[in-house]
Homo-oligomer: A and B are copies of this chain.
Amino acid sequence: MEPTMSLFYGISVISAAIAFLFAAYLYVWVKKQPQENNRITEVAQLIREGANTFMKREYKILAVFSAVIAVIIFLLLPSPIWKTETLWKNAAMALAYIGGTVLSAIAGKLGLIVASLSNGRSAEAAAKDIKPAFLVGFRGGSVMGLIVVGSAVLGVSVVLAIVKEASILLGFSFGASSLALFAKAGGGIFTKTADVAADLTGKVELGIAEDDPRNPAVIADNVGDNVGDVAGMGADLFDSNVAALTSALVIAQTLSGTMNAMMVLCYAALGLLASIFGIATARISKNGTPTGALNSSTYVTSAAFLALTAGATALFGFSWYIWGCSALGLVVGVVIGLATDYFTDDSKPIVKKCAHASKSGPAFTVLSGVSYGFLSALPAMIGIAISALVSYKICATDALIAEYGANFPLFGISMAAVGMLSIVAMIISNDAYGPIVDNARGLAEMGNLGEEAIRVADELDSAGNTVKAVTKGFSIGAAGLTVISLLGTFMSEANAAGANIAGFDIMNPTVFFGILVGAAIPAVFSAMLILAVDKNAQRMVAEIHRQFDTIPGLKEGDENAKPEYDKCIDVATSGSLRELIPAGLVAIFATIAVGFIGGPSAVGGFLLGNIVSGLLLSLFMSNAGGLWDNSKKYVEAGNEGGKGSEAHKAAVIGDTVGDPFKDTAGPSINTQITVVSLVASLLSAIFVQYNIFG
């Protein structure tokens, strides 16, 4: 069969359509599940309204921001309009940028809608049996997974089909990234502001349960799960997926023939189909556990992807070497996930050690988490390093380079990233399942569904926590590989603009300058986000204290005393919206400053330093945070003295430290790295022309 680009545009669009149809089916299925408890309906309504308020205000700010950026892009990129003869390219780039932001926003918003439908229904199902409760949570999450990945595949192929020039995709990808950066940061600040403030005032000061409805922050906490862990995470993975596809397509365009570009589209479509298969077949088996169900559907999806791509490779005559790179990427992703799991799963020794250290006091909880967090970075860094090295070497034979061109080995690395992210729809489903069942647990408590429902919801929640580690391994690993190929993209773009760069030599002090500055940025970015949570949570604690002091009977648990949930939501909303822009801008401005100081060589170094320290810090923070969270849960399950013991108090402090680590700063670094890489590629021509030391 003689493949053509049109064929694969068709396949991509069809696979996206199937994903959307399946998502619609799951949406209807979730909506049909019973929601009868009045209290739950009422609270779920409050959560939905809070989330909508936040998203509306956030999107309003981001719309203004995006409009400004779109105008700048139109004026300057790919070349300044006063210099270019192909004005349509500037228009296409600006439109692609807007398309990226809009698709990201829509995917986040739809995910949020389904999540807020699912949590109450999952809670009510939990009162009956674990299996249907699991299915409601998982399918609710899957709707977002399918929409996010369907939009990514659709968007990339439509943009490419129209403009036929992969570099315009950089604009689309930048749209997705810039929205993700702020959605992730803003949502991350919101969710942890509420979580930390609710824990401090509720659990620590009053000694009431996590989701006690007396606590004025409890609804804000649930809203946070939705806007941070659902909408933010969706935007994040939309971005990663688009960036991986974009960099693979940009590199493919520098190779001879169109075979490689077809391959990228084909693999992306097959990854989506494999995920649909995995999602459709996911359920708790007889005598099975929710963790088992989530993990086995991940493996089913992976196997399906490998089989489908092998078939396609044989059918269309794609390169088997590249298939090998994708397969390697996928396998390394699983291995990284398992290593992460080792450091954060409470059935493994590390969590137990951290819980045991809590017996000596909170300082030891913190030191133990920091240490194991540092250690946990090693396997993932080695995994990424090896998959990059091996993918490159597989494709670096003289024969392959002669056939396809000098960039073929780099294409191998980018396809390892595509392979690692191929099952991303499945990953998002697993990830979004977490906050849905977390909310379900809260609703079960607030709706008085009884001990058994809470226990079931707890079991579902704990599975979500465990599986998160595996899926996080994929997303961090894939981000690492993607930015390596984005570094290649940056070099191609700079050379296309006349830079004549053969590489970035670390012995070149301009490159070295960039590396050191780039390495400091993820630390600065993380610090700003953590300080934002810190500042905001203190504001919310003050608001909660005000309510306790002025609303009679609230603190004592009087049934008629109504907390003002909306005031807390408002504190979290305005605070996070005020804080979300500066951290992102610092990263973008640093890139631009380095570019104007040191030119493209310094920017190359900057990107490298940023990747290296970004990977290290995000692995450290995500894993340490997960470790502390699960250590606390382990103590609460009755170990090392159980609830109320000194060890428990220490473990709660560890968990509070870990909250902004794992849900605000850690996972935002990915996006920060991608944004910076794309800014560099987009502005490469300008850096080549204007700089001081380059």
Contact = CB atoms under 8 A, between A and B. Distances in A.
Contacts of A404: none
A171 interface: no
A106 interface: no
Interface in A514-536: 515-517, 519-520, 523-524, 526-528, 530-531, 533-534
A357 B196 CA distance: 14
Interface stretch (A174-182, A361-369, A441-449): A361-369
A531 B353 CA distance: 11
Size range of the interface on A? Answer: 35 or more
Nearest to A613: B616
Interface string A365-409: 011101111110110011011101101110000000000000001
Contacts of A612: 515-516, 519, 609, 612-613
A264 interface: no
A515 to B, nearest CB: 6
Interface stretch (A91-99, A116-124, A462-470, A653-661): A653-661
B524 A374 contact: yes
A207 interface: no
A510 B367 CA distance: 34
A686 B214 CA distance: 69
A382 B517 contact: yes
B361 A506 contact: no
A530 B371 contact: yes
B506 A487 contact: yes
A488 B505 CA distance: 12
A480 B381 CA distance: 23
A608 interface: yes
Given A506-B504, A508-B503, A608-B506, A520 B377 contact: yes
A575 interface: no
At the interface, is chain A mostly helix, strand, loop or mixed? helix
A509 B389 contact: yes
A388 B657 contact: no
Contact of A616 (B377, B392, B523): B523
A375 B527 contact: yes
Nearest to A205: B361
Given A409-B509, A693-B389, A516 B363 contact: no
A604 interface: yes
A371 B527 contact: yes
A204 interface: yes
B361 A204 contact: yes
Nearest to A412: B509
Given A507-B504, A524-B374, A604-B506, A200 B517 contact: no
Given A360-B200, A516-B385, A527 B374 contact: yes
A491 interface: yes
A538 to B, nearest CB: 6
A432 to B, nearest CB: 27
Nearest to A505: B503
Given A509-B392, A516-B382, A368 B531 contact: yes
B385 A534 contact: no
Contacts of A660: 367
A267 interface: no
Interface in A23-40: none
A484 interface: yes
Interface in A647-694: 653, 656-657, 660, 693
A513 interface: yes
Given A364-B538, A374-B526, 17 more contacts: A360-B537, A367-B531, A370-B657, A371-B531, A374-B527, A375-B523, A375-B524, A381-B517, A381-B520, A388-B513, A389-B598, A410-B507, A504-B506, A506-B506, A609-B612, A612-B612, A613-B613
- Which 6 residue pairs spanning A and B have beta carbons closest together? A503-B505, A363-B656, A392-B509, A374-B527, A385-B516, A374-B523
Interface of A: 196, 200, 204, 357, 360-364, 366-368, 370-375, 377-378, 381-382, 384-386, 388-389, 391-393, 409-410, 413, 480, 484, 487-488, 491, 502-513, 515-517, 519-520, 523-524, 526-528, 530-531, 533-534, 537-538, 541, 598, 604-605, 608-609, 612-613, 615-616, 620, 653, 656-657, 660, 693
16 contacts: A196-B363, A200-B360, A204-B361, A366-B653, A367-B530, A367-B533, A371-B526, A371-B531, A385-B517, A389-B693, A491-B507, A503-B508, A506-B506, A506-B608, A520-B616, A523-B616
